[in-house]
Structure 1
Amino acid sequence: MIMTTQRRYDIDWLRVIAIALLLIYHIAIVFQPWAMFLGFIKSDELMEGLWKPMTLLNVWRIPFLFFVSGMGVYFAIRKRNWKELLLERSRRILLPFLFGVVAIVPIHFLLFQAYYHLPIGYVAHPAHLWFLGNIIVYVLLLTPVFFYLKKSEKGAFRKKLDAWMGNPLGPLSISLLVVLEVILVRPQVFEMYALTWHGFFIGLMAFFCGFLLVYSGGSFWKTVLNWRWAYLGLALGMYLTRWMVYDLVAPGYLMAIESTTWIMAIFGFGYKYLNKPSAILSYLTQAAYPVYILHMVALNTAASLVLPLDWPVLVKFLAIIGATGLFCFFIFEFLIRRILFIRPLFGLSLQSNPDSKLISGPANSQLS
């Protein structure tokens, strides 16, 4: 039986990879014709072909991070009461969220306005930090449910849930909740998660289901491990159908099912190949959350410097990726990581603790 209390390096790796893909995804937006509508600096030379792989990622990347965040709460409440949980989440999520709205978001808005010679102004806005705001609300809403389930861990519900997750249809049944959300909310664009009711409710379901998946026991992990190829084949088949038949814009209920199959396949392959410790992983796990908070400032800075250059568009794309990564690395390594009073503003503990348990640590508990 796969234990759910052991350290899970695969979830660490998947989360780090998801943040890296987020950076690349946002950089790819710079080269799309609609970039300015989302508040991104836009390249005059476009790479619209990037949109096809982008939409493959977009159908699952944000729900996946909500799943991981819900898993984090399960591990957190095993050694905390409800007051300690709310205090810890306030310190590690609410504080960085408020700091980001006051000090980080205005900078990348300023960079955008300066690049286009727009009037300088700012009204408090979560921008890319909307995710953290959602997590705080989810924790407040679901804490009573989580602690009720904690008290009933040996009850019939958990046993039935564990048995159901031992069936290959068990993990996929989560897609029915997402389909229901699509039917009820009727989002104009399935992948439009930020600051929408669709994003709020699909995030709420993913967050709660992430908790339930680790709460259920070891059967879930055994199932996604054994059926990972089937889930991957189904996900890829649905993506190709969406591409070939629907020109990437399939009905919402199909995209809901596709999203879930990708996520379950990712969990399965992650458990198979990534559940290994490393020094690099320890560092990246600590860096991921600050990089998420900071990356839009880095991206707009890099875009402002690179786009005016007389370089081929592919070179510009790669240069912005490299410059964004280096900017984030230097700010994290030489400021955030080393200056004591700055660390909590980016969700880190006052002291670096690379041996902290997976998902209960700062880098795994919030993000997301």
Structure 2
Amino acid sequence: MENERRYDIDWLRVVAIALLLIYHIAIVFQPWAAFIGFIRSEVPMESLWKLMSMLNVWRIPFLFYVSGMGVYFAIRKRNGGQLVKERSKRILLPFAFGVFVVAPLHVFVFQQYYKLPLMYYPHPGHLWFLGNIFVYVLLLAPLFFLLMRKPLRGFRKKLSAIMGNPSGPLSVSIFFIMEVRILQPAVFEMYALTWHGFFLGFLAFFFGFLFVYSGKAFWQTVLRWKWFYLGVALTSYLIRLFFFETNLPDYALAIESHCWIFGIFGLGYRYLNRPSRSLTYLSQAAYPVYIVHMAVLYAVAALVLPLAIPTPAKFIAISGFTFVGCFLLYEGLISRVGLLRPLFGMKKQAREMEAPGEGSANAVAAIP
């Protein structure tokens, strides 16, 4: 495990980010979009919410898990000072740039679209997670380095034994259930800029590290039991979809969330743990694309929504042009201008590739 290259983790990150972009596009077609600062279609597509509610319970915890896993791979080659310096470049710098430059762009488009007074104020917007992750690194790095540099062999052995049982990974749900019972969030899926989102992310980041630290037992378990986890998750989702209008108690959502996550980890470990040129390119592009996607989405929505075409066609058009616009910005500008690359979490050297589990894409999580 120490020297294994984990292509599946990078693949899952890329897929998750793509789903997050689609999720944000789908918000445009919800009747409540304007209440959370999104440009809203006059004709909604509320049926999209059924699929959105399936993603909602696991998409943010999943990406925090992946970020914690990424730190495990990163500190194999770094000391404490090097880790903080590297994460400051990859996380803190893009976060500051995003707060003052990137996030206000889609706010301006929103204000212009609805003919509101133009106002500027620093706000993390969809980049809120970067601040969270940087704090997690600072808080947990001493413990992580203790575990890595001075292995507690008894602890690691016991942890591996626990993870070797199908109930082992699921046992961490207890901590997430405790979190929601203590904080009692109004909505389980309300992660951005809330204490619930902060502590849920902290737990996922911490256990993401421990899952990789425990060795192959965790991965063999999620591989062997992936269909069980996915079956439980799907059953839970269908129950709340048909009988509870997509709502369940927070503790039930915490369990469903983890079943989705472990099932997806199992699928990734089985089918995606192999290199490819596409992965090399997309791992580099994912972070910058996520950073710019809200500004592109709002601009595209402002142009497409007034058109006299069917609403489903608007959804397809906004989806396509948003993805194309983001990759054009990445390929034509961000990845080619040395001064811009660090502001989007990339190294100054153009096209310098990194090992899976490391690098700029590691910081990626998402906003609801």
* TM superposition score category, shorter chain reference: over 0.9
Cα deviation for residue 356 of structure 1 reads: 1.8
Q: Which residue identity lines up with residue 201 of structure 1 in the other structure? A: F
Q: Which residue of structure 1 aligns with residue 173 of structure 2?
A: 175
The percentage of aligned residue pairs carrying the same residue is 61
Cα deviation for residue 27 of structure 1 reads: 0.5
- Mapping for residues 300-339 of structure 1, pairs under 5 Å: 300-339=298-337
Q: Which residue identity lines up with residue 344 of structure 1 in the other structure? A: P
Distance in 2, matches of 1:111 and 1:313, equals 21
Distance in 2, matches of 1:42 and 1:147, equals 47
Q: Does 1:36 align with 2:38?
A: no
Cα deviation for residue 53 of structure 1 reads: 0.3
Distance in 1, matches of 2:304 and 2:353, equals 39
Distance in 2, matches of 1:304 and 1:35, equals 14
Distance in 2, matches of 1:50 and 1:177, equals 31
The runs of 4+ residues in structure 1 deviating greater than 6 Å are none
SS of 2:86's equivalent in the other structure is: helix
- Tell me: CA distance 1:295–1:270, structure 2 relative to 1, closer, same or farther (3 Å): same
Q: Which residue of structure 1 aligns with residue 105 of structure 2?
A: 107
Distance in 2, matches of 1:75 and 1:262, equals 24
Q: Which residue of structure 1 aligns with residue 79 of structure 2?
A: 81
Distance in 2, matches of 1:248 and 1:292, equals 27
Q: Does 1:136 align with 2:130?
A: no
Q: Which residue of structure 2 aligns with residue 13 of structure 1?
A: 11
Query: 1:7·1:358 contact (CA, 8 Å) conserved in 2?
Result: yes
Structure 1 window deviating more from structure 2 (169-178 vs 315-324): it is 169-178
Structure 1 unpaired stretches of 5+: none
Query: 1:134·1:200 contact (CA, 8 Å) conserved in 2?
Result: yes
Deviations 1:255-305, CA, capped at 9 Å, x for gaps: 000000000000000111111211111111100000111110010011000
Distance in 1, matches of 2:352 and 2:164, equals 33
Deviations 1:89-138, CA, capped at 9 Å, x for gaps: 00000000000111101111000000000000011111100010110111
SS of 2:290's equivalent in the other structure is: helix
Q: Which residue of structure 2 aligns with residue 225 of structure 1?
A: 223
Q: Which residue of structure 1 aligns with residue 145 of structure 2?
A: 147
TM-score normalised to structure 1 length: 0.97
Structure 1 window deviating more from structure 2 (240-249 vs 86-95): it is 240-249
Q: CA RMSD in A?
A: 1.1
Q: Which residue identity lines up with residue 324 of structure 2 in the other structure? A: L
Distance in 2, matches of 1:18 and 1:261, equals 16
Distance in 2, matches of 1:235 and 1:30, equals 27
Query: 2:130·2:363 contact (CA, 8 Å) conserved in 1?
Result: no
TM-score normalised to structure 2 length: 0.97
Query: 1:359·1:365 contact (CA, 8 Å) conserved in 2?
Result: no
Cα deviation for residue 365 of structure 1 reads: 4.4
- Mapping for residues 351-362 of structure 1, pairs under 5 Å: 351-353=349-351, 355-362=353-360
Cα deviation for residue 242 of structure 1 reads: 1.4
State the aligned residue count: 366
Q: Which residue identity lines up with residue 56 of structure 1 in the other structure? A: M
Of the candidates 294, 297, 302, which is equivalent to residue 295 of structure 2?
297
Structure 2 unpaired stretches of 5+: none
Q: Which residue identity lines up with residue 152 of structure 1 in the other structure? A: K
- Tell me: CA distance 1:220–1:70, structure 2 relative to 1, closer, same or farther (3 Å): same
Query: 2:10·2:356 contact (CA, 8 Å) conserved in 1?
Result: yes
- Mapping for residues 195-210 of structure 1, pairs under 5 Å: 195-210=193-208
Distance in 1, matches of 2:259 and 2:39, equals 33
Cα deviation for residue 146 of structure 1 reads: 1.1
Q: Does 1:51 align with 2:58?
A: no
Distance in 2, matches of 1:356 and 1:9, equals 11
Query: 2:338·2:350 contact (CA, 8 Å) conserved in 1?
Result: no
Query: 1:89·1:366 contact (CA, 8 Å) conserved in 2?
Result: no
- Mapping for residues 253-272 of structure 1, pairs under 5 Å: 253-272=251-270
SS of 1:301's equivalent in the other structure is: helix
Of the candidates 66, 69, 77, which is equivalent to residue 68 of structure 1?
66
Q: Which residue of structure 2 aligns with residue 279 of structure 1?
A: 277
Deviations 1:301-350, CA, capped at 9 Å, x for gaps: 11000000000000000000001011101100010111111100000011
Q: Which residue identity lines up with residue 131 of structure 2 in the other structure? A: G
